[in-house]
Chains A and B, each alone.
Chain A
Amino acid sequence: QKEVEQDPGPLSVPEGAIVSLNCTYSNSAFQYFMWYRQYSRKGPELLMYTYSSGNKEDGRFTAQVDKSSKYISLFIRDSQPSDSATYLCAMRPGAGSYQLTFGKGTKLSVIP
């Protein structure tokens, strides 16, 4: 079993839909959780950065972390064709260990 599990999709939704992406993990030491967006042939772009459990909202994006269930989510409201990309979850332990462990990524297509 990999440390971070993420359904690779592909996921296809109509424009304007609410998108839900998620990851599960097994390492209880993970404290920091991130979501990156990666367009084809580009590097990952940081979308959300959260610490421990709770919710964080930034524009159309909401990140949720449930450490008791080892489950994190990213919600995208009013999805746009420009949101079509691969979404990667990433996480790391607390202070002293800065290497990120990534999921495989979920490929999202938003259809106009």
Chain B
Amino acid sequence: GAGVSQTPSNKVTEKGKYVELRCDPISGHTALYWYRQSLGQGPEFLIYFQGTGAADDSGLPNDRFFAVRPEGSVSTLKIQRTERGDSAVYLCASSLAGGQPQHFGDGTRLSIL
């Protein structure tokens, strides 16, 4: 079956711009997670959704980062006033329910010039 789908696969934008990254989870998965992976590092947790609500947003680095999941399926990660330090691969994962094994998409490679 289809895995986690993330679009775009690559995004290049200028410092100060706004970006939106989309994640389409595995069908039937109620839990959705966002992580950020910098070069040479493991993924770092950003936010976890159970259904439509953000159950844990403790990993969001600051208020420029925001994520939504309005219908409990597709999620969008939004970054305002981008900075060069935001450059990373943004990974989305989903699981059948919270606490179940997490399955990752291939990520969006974000580059801020």
CA distance A41 to B109 in the complex (A): 9
B102 within 8 A of A: yes
Known: A43-B91, A98-B56. 9 other contacts (CB 8 A): A34-B101, A43-B106, A44-B104, A49-B101, A97-B56, A98-B98, A98-B99, A100-B33, A104-B42
CA distance A45 to B99 in the complex (A): 17
A69 within 8 A of B: no
The size class of the interface chain B forms with chain A is: 20 to 34
Q: Quick check: A43 and B104 within 8 Å, CB to CB?
A: yes
A16 within 8 A of B: no
Interface string of A39-64 (1 = CB under 8 A from B): 00111111001000000000000000
B33 to chain A, nearest CB (A): 7
Note all chain B residues with C-beta closer than 8 A to A4. Answer: 42
Choose one: A6, A8, A41, A102; the contact of B44 (CB below 8 Å).
A102
Knowing A43-B91, A98-B99, A99-B48, the reply to whether A90 touches B106 (Cβ < 8 A) is no
Note all chain A residues with C-beta closer than 8 A to B45. Answer: 99-101
A95 within 8 A of B: yes
